[in-house]
Structure 1
């Protein structure tokens, strides 16, 4: 089976720096290798969406996997659970670690997860880092390049890149802070 190109969104608003690094390490340990490194965007700070709460830290990773969409979603949920995320938590509530499958190749489906994830177009905390990581990739439904969707984004969400010290992992490709989408 040929590996799928996958984009995952990570977010946390509880012990944010700690949980983002733990999430990246868990994904790295599960999916990254010398022949298939994991790429990560800058980390962004954004206001909570859908509820009043502490600001979130968000990032997007790109990786390759031979897992099916169902297996990948289950692996992400297991990592979340291992870091204190309760599956019974309300959709709009504080998070220790949230990992969402954003894109899986160019798949379009509604189950086992919605692909591509709707937040790509509607939430800056997903779109900006995704456009930074894969600017030339086309949205599987919309058809536009991610960078073009970002350049035309008109949302009002407060979002800014922050300084973040990534753990030094052997197969993790991290960004430079000077990159602008």
Structure 2
């Protein structure tokens, strides 16, 4: 059964929307492996900080069916179809990995290039899948995180009240 990893982000009502995303993902896909939650400054625009995390789960659905389900969860929770890339959002669910699949099909890119570009994706992924290797570079996520330039890192682990 394919192993999927999803990057979750929210900066609009982030406590509520992050919790809802976890509940909805579990309802649709079953048991989740969940990283710590990181509070992160927005990238590409000025706005409220984000909660970011990564979850993993197994699914019998195809890569496109998983992506479609994620999109529906976003829409059901206040995301609009015309939302811009660098803007505030209620919920952002990105399929970043689907086994070792390499796919570039319009809006669906697997593995997502954000894995190696953004600490808010790589650090939580390395936390829950340290020994897994990137499908194209074949380097473990722990090693990628170790080598990541942390000079201007603007994120920290947080423990929202609803997780205690």
| TM-score, length basis structure 2 | 0.95
Asked whether the equivalents of residues 123 and 157 of structure 1 are also in contact (C-alpha less than 8 Å), the reply is no
Give yes or no for the alignment of 1:7 onto 2:5: yes
Q: Counterparts in 2 of 1:116-131, with a 5 A limit? A: 116-131=111-126
Alignment length (residue pairs): 162
Q: Counterparts in 2 of 1:1-181, with a 5 A limit? A: 3-32=1-30, 37-111=31-105, 113-155=108-150, 156-166=152-162
**Structure 1 residues not aligned, in runs of 5+:** 169-181
After superposition, the Cα gap between the structure-2 partners of 1:166 and 1:141, relative to the gap in structure 1 and judged at 3 Å, is: farther
Runs of 4+ in 1 over 2 A off after TM superposition: 164-168
Q: CA deviation at 1:165?
A: 4.3
Q: Which has the higher helix share?
A: 2
Q: CA RMSD in A?
A: 1.3
Structure 2: how far apart are the matches of 1:166 and 1:25? 12
SS, match of residue 110 in structure 1: strand
SS, match of residue 60 in structure 1: strand
After superposition, the Cα gap between the structure-2 partners of 1:27 and 1:167, relative to the gap in structure 1 and judged at 3 Å, is: farther
Q: CA deviation at 1:53?
A: 1.1
| TM-score, length basis structure 1 | 0.86
SS, match of residue 3 in structure 2: strand
Deviation by residue 1:48-70 (Cα, 9 ceiling, x = unmatched)? 01111111000100001011111
